Structure 1
Amino acid sequence: DGETPIFLIAAERHAERVHADLAGVDLKGGGPLFEPTGRNTAAAVALASLRTLSEYGDELVLVVPSDHEISTTAQFWQSIEAGAAAANAGRLVVFGLKPTQPETGYGYIEVGADRGGVFDVSRFVEKPDLATAQAYLDAGNFYWNTGIFLFRAGAMRDAFAAYEPKIWHATEAAYKAATSDLSGLYMPLELYSAIPSTSID
């Protein structure tokens, strides 16, 4: 039908709040995927990829952190569309914001070669001190890391297989043992807690 399902990955301990917040929201066939314990963003991205592969095949996945305020909706979707061709071609696309000031509260992305308006990522760097943030601003090839990613589910699976297979296999084991009902998907604590805890970036 052309509609994109929306899934929310959240802590199981917040299930009641999540259900209240989602009441009346059309998730287009999606729903909550509850983590019995936090295992950082790599596990959440693996879970989103597994869900997509199992339910929809090798489709595009857009990961957006829930703590962002997106006030420029049209510009946001233009940026997503600009990254879609690269993601469809198998690249893992991360979105950055051009910094306007030296900011010590954000992580940064250093970019390399421009490939048709989509830059190669040279590295991710954690929140810098003020002098380093100023150097990043002056260099001109650093962006604030939004933590927003766009990728084909299969491409992310392949990246996990190449770089972090333990995370993928442990997440897959927890996902396969999950139970689900109308309120969401629930994974066993003993399996989910075995997933190595690391950031996707």
Structure 2
Amino acid sequence: MKPVVLAGGSGSRLWPKSRAALPKQFLSLTSDSTMLQDTVTRLEGTKQSSPIFICNDAHRFLVAEQLRQKSIQHGGILLEPVGRNTAPAIALAALHATKNGEDPVLLVLAADHLIKDTSEFHAAIEKASKLAESGKLVTFGIVPDQPHTGYGYIRAGEKVESGFSVSEFVEKPALSTAEKYVASGEYFWNSGMFMFKASRYLEELKKFHPEMLDVCQRAIDTETPDLDFIRVDHDIFSTCPDDSIDYAVMEKTDSAAMVPLDAGWSDVGSWTSLWETASKDENGNVSVGDTILENTKNSYVNAEQRLVSVIGLEDVIVVETKDAVMVAHKDDAQSIKSVVNTLKAEQRPEFEFHREVFRPWGSYDSIDSGDRFQVKRITVKPGEKLSVQMHHHRAEHWIVVSGSANVTINEKTQLVTENESVYIPIGAVHALENPGKIPLELIEVQSGAYLGEDDIVRFSDRYGRVAK
């Protein structure tokens, strides 16, 4: 079995924690590990080869770093040049997995799902693998515990070996219809998880969507390695039709099968679903971080940076980050997406970035800013180096707080240690490197007429961020 982990998606309904540059699959929302890490580690104990990961270019270093943190070996991190939904993404993975003449059973997983009962999940995988080996395209149907209107449904057909045939796929229903589905016992939530032999998926895709397979084949034929990543041709892949695996294949094939799964699954699609799946106190509250709740019931409160107190409220969601606070009624949590759309339309930075921004070399936190100045706290991981660069409009002062820095300004390199500082004039070609064994922490004070991140001219960069 070869897992295929789909690590795309924006998770906009979990704003302000989840943002375009750091969506929910890279956050620790349901455990001390990130959702991506949990997706892989919950497979421990199953017979598997190294997983394939699929993500976009902007998130590639997040994936690589989070795998490194858990010492997870991978079978390739495929970079989608543009988003084209799940059917083409899975096709790229299947074509990559079969390049050397192998034909593994693929277990397709989303990187942002919660599954509480690992042993039950493993049992379902074992059942699905038998069906997949026989040529079936298997989906996992979640045993519903309520008439949910936010999920699509699968109707089970006749019993087939260790599962069922699929009678039909149904779109997200109205509440009255969902109630009938759950009462009948014939319908299951569509989990978006699948298992099939790579060759069988490609055969069915060729049958129902040959132009999609043709584009994916031509794209994968161009694959080239780039550090930990595998790139395919942008111009070719951008011509690929946009479609989900459900519409492109699963709803059309006569080989669809389903294995029921009752393992505490959630797609963690909203703050309300996080409240539903988490352990609650005697008042029905879920609290994370530094919180004080008085006369508050059935609420979710998440404090990241500051003390958050909630008094005399019921059924509310309060989420605080370094640069934003979101308050909503639980019944209206889905409307958060409209706030995100407003942020995007107004081109506000809170749509894409947190105050702390992660880079392949470390991170920077924008502590303060004003007219003609900006202050950042910069962390550089041991052995890492920022690009050789210059700025047209700003000068910089660097004060080392801990660790040591090799600082290059024009042709001169010097070692700057704790409590020492250095000045980089406007127009100077400079670089920053951490030569030590511990993280380098420094305070950067920028001053000048323009302080935007796009005032960077890169001359060389070990992470491939210099235009060729």
State the TM-score, normalizing by the size of structure 2.
Answer: 0.41
Query: Using the alignment, how far apart are the partners of 1:27 and 1:126 within structure 2?
Result: 36
Greater Rg, structure 1 or structure 2?
2
Query: Using the alignment, how far apart are the partners of 1:81 and 1:158 within structure 2?
Result: 23
Query: Using the alignment, how far apart are the partners of 1:161 and 1:18 within structure 2?
Result: 30
1:181 is aligned to 226
Give the AA of the match of 1:18. V
Give the AA of the match of 1:33. L
Asked whether 1:157 is paired with 2:202, we answer yes
Query: 1:26-61: CA deviations, max 9, x gaps?
Result: 444513111011100101111111111114611111
Question: Which structure 2 residues correspond to residues 20-31 of structure 1 after superposition, within 5 A?
Answer: 20-31=65-76
Query: 1:62-93: CA deviations, max 9, x gaps?
Result: 00011101221111111000111110011101
Question: Which structure 2 residues correspond to residues 103-114 of structure 1 after superposition, within 5 A?
Answer: 103-114=148-159
- Equivalent pair of 2:88/2:216 in contact (CA under 8 Å): yes
Task: Tell me how far 1:199 sits from its aligned partner.
Answer: 0.7
Question: Which structure 2 residues correspond to residues 119-158 of structure 1 after superposition, within 5 A?
Answer: 119-158=164-203
Query: Using the alignment, how far apart are the partners of 1:46 and 1:77 within structure 2?
Result: 25
Q: Which structure shows the bigger proportion of residues in strand conformation?
A: 2
1:59 is aligned to 104
Question: Which structure 2 residues correspond to residues 26-45 of structure 1 after superposition, within 5 A?
Answer: 26-45=71-90
1:192 is aligned to 237
2:304 is aligned to none
- Equivalent pair of 1:62/1:151 in contact (CA under 8 Å): yes
Task: Tell me how far 1:23 sits from its aligned partner.
Answer: 1.8
- Equivalent pair of 1:4/1:28 in contact (CA under 8 Å): no
1:5 is aligned to 50
Question: Which structure 2 residues correspond to residues 70-109 of structure 1 after superposition, within 5 A?
Answer: 70-109=115-154
Which structure's relative contact order is higher, taking Cα pairs within 8 Å and 6+ residues apart? 1
Range that drifts further, 65-74 or 28-37: 28-37
Query: 1:1-25: CA deviations, max 9, x gaps?
Result: x751111101112112222222244
Query: Using the alignment, how far apart are the partners of 1:72 and 1:120 within structure 2?
Result: 24
**Could you say if the C-alpha distance between residues 108 and 56 of structure 1 is closer, same or farther in structure 2, counting changes exceeding 3 Å?**
farther
Tell me the secondary structure at the aligned position of residue 54 of structure 1: coil
- Equivalent pair of 2:131/2:162 in contact (CA under 8 Å): no
Query: Using the alignment, how far apart are the partners of 1:146 and 1:136 within structure 2?
Result: 16
Number of matched pairs = 200
Task: Tell me how far 1:182 sits from its aligned partner.
Answer: 3.2
Task: Tell me how far 1:141 sits from its aligned partner.
Answer: 1.1
Give the AA of the match of 2:194. F
Tell me the secondary structure at the aligned position of residue 120 of structure 2: helix
- Equivalent pair of 2:130/2:162 in contact (CA under 8 Å): no
Give the AA of the match of 1:121. V
Query: 1:107-160: CA deviations, max 9, x gaps?
Result: 111121111231111222222121121121122111111111111111111111
Unaligned ranges ≥5, structure 1: none
Tell me the secondary structure at the aligned position of residue 169 of structure 1: helix
Tell me the secondary structure at the aligned position of residue 128 of structure 1: coil
Query: 1:154-195: CA deviations, max 9, x gaps?
Result: 111111111111111111111111211332111122111111
Query: Using the alignment, how far apart are the partners of 2:243 and 2:226 within structure 1?
Result: 29
Query: Using the alignment, how far apart are the partners of 1:160 and 1:137 within structure 2?
Result: 31
Unaligned ranges ≥5, structure 2: 1-46, 247-468
- Equivalent pair of 2:132/2:195 in contact (CA under 8 Å): yes
- Equivalent pair of 2:84/2:242 in contact (CA under 8 Å): yes
For the aligned residue pairs, the C-alpha RMSD in angstroms reads 1.6
Q: Which structure shows the bigger proportion of residues in helix conformation?
A: 1
Give the AA of the match of 2:53. L
- Equivalent pair of 2:151/2:172 in contact (CA under 8 Å): yes
Query: Using the alignment, how far apart are the partners of 1:153 and 1:26 within structure 2?
Result: 26
Query: Using the alignment, how far apart are the partners of 1:88 and 1:136 within structure 2?
Result: 30
**Could you say if the C-alpha distance between residues 90 and 42 of structure 1 is closer, same or farther in structure 2, counting changes exceeding 3 Å?**
same
Query: Using the alignment, how far apart are the partners of 1:135 and 1:7 within structure 2?
Result: 39
